[in-house]
């Protein structure tokens, strides 16, 4: 997910990028919360989807965004 984010992160505004990736990371968790009697393979797939969107947005942009909002120089 991080390699994809490297190419996409400069083309979309940071705040919208974070909001959409966190929303997309939450959708599989909502599905797991509503439909908890699914098989183990689907549970792992939904968690992997959540982690994929979390690494695209939260893990990468949270290191870039504060340095742009609060510059050190």
5 token code pair: 């984010």
d(CA 61, CA 55): 9
Question: pLDDT at position 27, please?
Answer: 93
Per-residue pLDDT tens digits for 37-69:
888 899 999 999 999 888 887 777 777 778 778
Among candidate residues 62, 64, 32, 59, the one with its CA nearest the CA of residue 47: 32
Question: pLDDT at position 62, please?
Answer: 77
Residue 30 has pLDDT above 90, yes or no: yes
d(CA 73, CA 58): 25
Q: Radius of gyration of the chain from Cα atoms?
A: 15
d(CA 37, CA 31): 11
Question: pLDDT at position 46, please?
Answer: 92
């Amino acid at each position: 997910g991080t390699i994809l984010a490297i190419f996409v992160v400069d083309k979309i505004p940071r705040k919208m990028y974070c909001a959409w990736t966190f929303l997309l990371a939450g959708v599989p968790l909502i599905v797991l919360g509503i439909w908890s009697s699914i098989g183990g393979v689907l549970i792992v797939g939904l968690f992997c989807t959540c982690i994929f969107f979390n690494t695209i947005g939260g893990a990468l942009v949270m290191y870039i965004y504060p340095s742009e909002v609060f510059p050190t120089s």
